[in-house]
Amino acid sequence: MNYNKKSVRDIDVSGKKVLLRCDFNVPLKAGVITSDKRIVAAVPTIKYLLEQGAAVIACSHLGKPKNGPDPALSLAVVAKRLSELLGQEVKMAADVVGESATHMAAELKPGEIMLLENTRFEKGETKNDPELVKKLASLAEVYVSDAFGAVHRAHASTAGVAQYLPAVSGFLIEKELGVMGKALANPDRPFVAILGGAKVSDKLNVISNLLEKVDTLIIGGGMAYTFLAAKGCAVGSSLLDNEKIDYCREMMAKAEKNGVKLLLPVDTVVAASFPSPIDGPVDVTTVPADSIPDGMMGLDIGEETRRIFAEAVASAKTVVWNGPMGVFENPVLAAGTIAVAKALAESDAISIVGGGDSAAACEQLGFADRITHISTGGGASLEFLEGKELPGVACLLDR
């Protein structure tokens, strides 16, 4: 996949109407935004477009409305917050491509911004419906994509409109492509990847693709127990993906053939059962990872494993991390994830954290500002690491 795409810096937007796809899929509680990070992240691109004399028609999805428009998932709260952050009014349309949106877009002046209603209020959005695509594209003269969290989906507002409008990236996607694209295409070496999370099946293609690119692959989290079982180790009642044991053997053979060092836990923190509630008290002990007793469940990497993984990170020039090392939501079982986050923060390497739980862990632990790049899209960054073509990136103009 070509990561060298044109950005807003490469085109003239002065006096033009720009359809800007943002990721305003913010968390809400009782109609109140609980984190405005995604709105804040969109501000640099929006300000640049407005300063260049564009008329900005912003759009985004929010949640998963099931049966058309749902007042609880209206973007009106986003328009209000965005107005505060920009210091100017963000006009709010009552629909996506209906009379309100069409009229407001036609009247919009250079230096002004409006926001369309939740794109998923239109059922054709997720189906990349040709009629919806045409209507959306007719609102503007240029398309700017800045919603990295949605580029792995071929929806009307993430990819479809690029059939009709010149399409470039905003600053968020430009950074994602620059940092993650270089890491996969031409990394500074040694290149170390750390994968965690619950299941091997969630990361089948990621593991296989990274074994073509990295010098060291570290496996932690729940998925490690299927690899340990594939080596013939006793894993007790730990999470086990029985159908993927042969796959794990294949991947270990591939690592050996490619000269990739594959690191698995050597010790593990175990308990008699999964903590319930998730953050409740739990009675733990540490045992060798190759001999977990019957009836015990591995829930985090042990102290010796933390040291080995941290050493591998310390020697790296490029590190990519996706997925926690244990049940990090529970303070008793967070030490492995904390150790990895700390190792990345202290490393001189280019450090990249795929979105989702790993990003949340870095932010919660206060390490975010010491990481080179934290991806804004969990699912998109995973597909990036798989080497998949991302529809919302493929549709952008090449440099």
Task: Concatenate the DSSP letters of all residues of 302-356 into one string.
Answer: -HHHHHHHHHHHHT-SEEEEES-SS-TTSGGG-HHHHHHHHHHHH-SSEEEE-TH
Catalytic annotation present for 392 = no
Catalytic annotation present for 356 = yes
Three-state SS for 200-226 is HHHHHHHHHHHCCCCCEEEECCCCHHH
Other C-beta atoms lying within 10 Å of the C-beta of residue 279: 14
Q: Given the residues 5, 21, 38, 213, select the one marked as catalytic.
A: 38
Q: Given the residues 134, 175, 182, 199, select the one marked as catalytic.
A: 199
Residues 160 and 357: their CA atoms lie apart, in Å, by 30
Cα within 13 Å of Cα(85), Cβ side:
19
Nearest to 217 by CA among 193, 199, 200, 197: 193
List of residues 6+ apart from 67 with CB closer than 8 A: none
Burial 117-126 (b: 16+ CB within 10 A, else e): bbbbbbebbb
Q: Given the residues 53, 63, 181, 379, select the one marked as catalytic.
A: 379
Q: Given the residues 236, 356, 377, 392, select the one marked as catalytic.
A: 356
Residues 19 and 23: their CA atoms lie apart, in Å, by 13
Catalytic annotation present for 199 = yes
Residues 188 and 169: their CA atoms lie apart, in Å, by 25
List of residues 6+ apart from 190 with CB closer than 8 A: 215, 216, 315, 316, 317, 318
Cβ-in-10-Å burial (0-12, 13-18, 19+) of 131 comes to: exposed
Residues 332 and 10: their CA atoms lie apart, in Å, by 50
Phi, psi of 297 (to 5 degrees): -120, 125
- Is residue 237 within 8 A of residue 266, CB to CB? The reply is no
Q: Active-site positions?
A: 38, 199, 356, 379
